[in-house]
Amino acid sequence: MPTIRSFSRFIALVALLCLSACLAGCALPGLGTDKSPRTPGLTPGPCVVLVLPNTGNFAPISKKIENGAQLAKSSFSRNGATVHVKVIYTQPGWVEQVRALPKEFAVVGGFLQPEVFKQALSSGLTRERNVFAFLGKLPAGTEGADAWRFFASAEDQADAVVRLLADDLGCRSVGALYPNDKFSLRMTGLLEEKLAGKGIVLARSAYSGQADGAAKLLVGSGGEIEAVFLTDSWKQIDMLKRSLANAGAPSAYMVGTMIWNGFLNARPLASAASYPLAVFPSSFSRTVAPAPFNSGSYDAWHALGYDFVRFACRLNFERSYPAATANKYIPAAAKMNFAQAPISYDANGRAHQRLFMLQPGTQGAVLVNQASLKAKRDAIKLNPQAIPPAPAPGLAPAPGLAPAPAGQPASPGAASAARLIDPSKPAAPLPRNLQPDDAPAAPDAGGASPAPAAAQAPQVQTPPAQQTVMPSRRHTSYKLSLPTPQQQ
């Protein structure tokens, strides 16, 4: 009978559609499981929380991060997208303030101080929100399980140094000259371990105060050394340079850590020509940063806040997710154009930042040019006197910037004129400051920083509960890509 056959076909079609819907739901973890409505009165859009200190030496750094985050928020807003950015300062009761936020504020970043992160961990906050710490190291067993990093580690620094020395410059004789402190011992040990993987034995020599350990280092290296790893601050560079020259190694590459970054990336160095072989890792380079980050008004901390908000928008979690689920989306969300050095995540949620290697410059630090660096070393080997003597200690202030008082951290100054990113130009290609125990450092010398100006927005990614994070591709601009109405 036609009527019965038609009815049977209709039933079969309905069953097939139901089966397809079930399979689609199973394909996306979390899809269909979050049935609760969005918090009343909360405008649709990604929600981001920053937990930052607003007192002490960290206050100026927090302000820069906050300004960078607001820069990202404003750029989204100009393109018609709403992004909610909430800043909570680490004063008594901050954990309760985070907990009082709507569930949509699922992604929380900041935690510049290890003790603050430990409060988040011990209070159970890391089980209630997806927490990203701006720290170089998390307690053992927590990274990718209880929280994530959005910051360079000591391992990232060592990787960048080894990549330059062993892979790019072909050095086989490397030494380390360092003060006998916890940070130096850890960094030197990491470098030693990673060089060993390349078949290179690291010669080591510790020193105290102004004591000369370079002669001992040369003996330990067999009398010749191509590069020396220096974990001390830039303020000791002239003493270390003299030590190496007196020991017969004036042509050794002088390789620092990110401790140099706050001093050399902040303002131009008038005496840059006196340190032609000095290089150091950094998470930020104005040479390749998108405008307006390539001006002297911005540094790594601004870029950190800017990038974190953009990263959180690509995640676009409307509620917190268990680590196993979040780890399926975090690696893809990090495949974006960064204002700083790119951060990537493995399948277990462990972060890696591919740091830049920079050299001091008269207009601020610049990316290392390997061919030029080799040529300078060859010239110095032929004529050690070719290096200009260092002038009196001090930095030349950047145009329009007043140096911070001695011993004081830099603080944001007056707002600068708006400099917009040109969306017709390619985004920055994909190729910070640490003290002992990898805590973020206050600027070594620092300069005043104007408040961030406006910039075009990057892409927005819909959340896993609505759509899978799209595969990585290099974007040609910072234009905003909004979800379609069907994705809302």
d(CA 213, CA 35): 66
Q: What is the pLDDT of residues 375-431, one digit of tens each?
A: 999 999 888 776 766 555 444 433 332 333 333 333 222 222 222 222 233 333 322
Write down the architecture of domain 47-152+291-353+451-487 according to CATH.
3-Layer(aba) Sandwich (3.40)
Residue 213 has pLDDT above 50, yes or no: yes
Residue 6 has pLDDT above 70, yes or no: no
Q: What is the pLDDT of residues 281-298, one digit of tens each?
A: 999 998 898 887 877 788
pLDDT at 36: 55
pLDDT at 62: 96
Q: Are strands 351-353 and 343-345 parallel, antiparallel or unpaired?
A: antiparallel
pLDDT more than 90, % of the chain: 52
**What is the secondary structure of 348-373 as a DSSP string?**
T--EEE--EEEE--BTB-EE--HHHH
More confidently predicted of 165 and 45 = 165
Of the options 3.40.50.300, 3.40.50.2300, 3.40.710.10, 3.30.70.100, the CATH number for the domain spanning 155-287+357-383: 3.40.50.2300
pLDDT at 207: 87
If pLDDT is split at 50, 70 and 90, which confidence band does 373 have?
very high
Q: What is the pLDDT of residues 67-118, one digit of tens each?
A: 999 999 998 988 888 999 999 999 999 999 999 999 999 999 999 999 999 9
- pTM beyond 0.85, yes or no: no
Alpha carbon separation from 234 to 108, 240, 261 (Å, rounded): 34, 10, 9
If pLDDT is split at 50, 70 and 90, which confidence band does 273 have?
confident
d(CA 73, CA 77): 6
Contacts 24+ apart (CB under 8 A), 91-96: 91/54, 94/51, 95/119, 95/120, 95/123, 95/125
Q: Nearest to residue 438, comparing CAs of 174, 237, 143, 105? A: 143
Q: Let me know: does 164 contact 194? Beta carbons within 8 Å.
A: no
More confidently predicted of 332 and 423 = 332
- Three-state secondary structure call for residue 50: strand
Most confident of the ranges 4-18, 142-156, 381-395, 456-470:
142-156
Q: Let me know: does 277 contact 251? Beta carbons within 8 Å.
A: yes
Give every CB contact of residue 366 below 8 A, 6+ residues apart in sequence: 285, 287, 358, 359
pLDDT more than 70, % of the chain: 68
Residue 264 has pLDDT above 50, yes or no: yes
If pLDDT is split at 50, 70 and 90, which confidence band does 7 have?
low
The phi, psi pair for 167, rounded to 5°, reads: -80, -45
Matching fold, domains 47-152+291-353+451-487 and 155-287+357-383: yes
What pairs with residue 403 in β-bridges?
Answer: 447
Structure-block tokens of residue 372: 């030029």
Mean residue pLDDT of the chain comes to 76
Alpha carbon separation from 212 to 224, 230, 289 (Å, rounded): 17, 13, 39
Q: Where are the domains of the chain?
A: 47-152+291-353+451-487, 155-287+357-383
Structure-block tokens of residue 430: 């994909």
Residue 133 has pLDDT above 70, yes or no: yes
Give every CB contact of residue 133 below 8 A, 6+ residues apart in sequence: 109, 110, 111, 117, 147, 148, 149, 150, 151
pLDDT at 263: 84
Buried b (16+ CB within 10 A) or exposed e, 156-184: bbbbbbbbbbbeebebebbbbbbbeeebb
Q: Nearest to residue 227, comparing CAs of 160, 170, 275? A: 170
